[in-house]
Amino acid sequence: MNRPLPIIVLALLTSPALAIEPGWHISPLSGEGDRASLGCDRDATDSDYACLAVRCEDDYSVGVHVYTTRLGGDAGRWTMTMDRENRIFETTDDPSPYGARLADPDGMLLDRIRHGTFIYFQHADDPHAPFRYIDLGGSFQSIAEALYWCAPRVPPSEQNIAPDVDPDNEMEKRHEPSPAGTQ
């Protein structure tokens, strides 16, 4: 006997698995969940959002990207207030699924995102638009999980070799005197 699936199950099967939401979480973009963490503003919805993404790049470097629904695009200068300190960041042309990569040569932005408490940010061409607010609570853990595998694999020729210590001759044994010539 065929029974129809309950409406709740159908709704769960047809709804998107991940969506843009406020706070820090893995990136919902296809293929990015195991390499990027996304922090979105407190008013983020699927149709209006401003997010910062911390991503493991293809060359194993760590990149900070801005990802928004801004009509003029994400490239350009961004004014940010991070824990009451104002900074301006330029974007660079790096291919990624996010809007634009922020230039962070000394790693200060990444450090503030990991260890700070809040960020307000706004595109420099939108002086009358409101600043977007991202709470950085949970950013450290979320970024650590996304960057866990962000390290180049070491080829066997560069791996550490096993120690060449002969335990019978060069190591002390419990409850016995040291071998001759070791002291």
58 within some domain: yes
pLDDT at 169: 60
Q: What is the pLDDT of residues 161-183, one digit of tens each?
A: 776 666 666 556 667 776 676 55
177 within some domain: no
180 within some domain: no
pLDDT at 183: 55
72 within some domain: yes
Range of the domain at 106: 18-156
60 within some domain: yes
pLDDT above 90 as % of the chain: 52
Q: What is the pLDDT of residues 70-106, one digit of tens each?
A: 998 999 999 999 998 999 999 987 788 998 999 998 9
pLDDT at 153: 67
**SS3 string of the chain?**
CCCCCCHHHHHHHHCCCCCCCCEEEECCCCCCCCCEEEEECCCCCCCCCEEEEEEECCCCCEEEEEEECCCCCCCCEEEEEECCEEEEEEEECCCCCCCEEECCCCCHHHHHHHHCCEEEEEECCCCCCCCEEEECCCHHHHHHHHCCCCCCCCCHHHCCCCCCCCHHHHCCCCCCCCCCCCC
> Looking at residue 57, which CATH number applies to its domain?
2.60.40
30 within some domain: yes
8 within some domain: no
Q: Is 137 exposed, middle or buried (0-12, 13-18, 19+ CB in 10 A)?
A: middle
38 within some domain: yes
- As for how many domains the chain has, the answer is 1
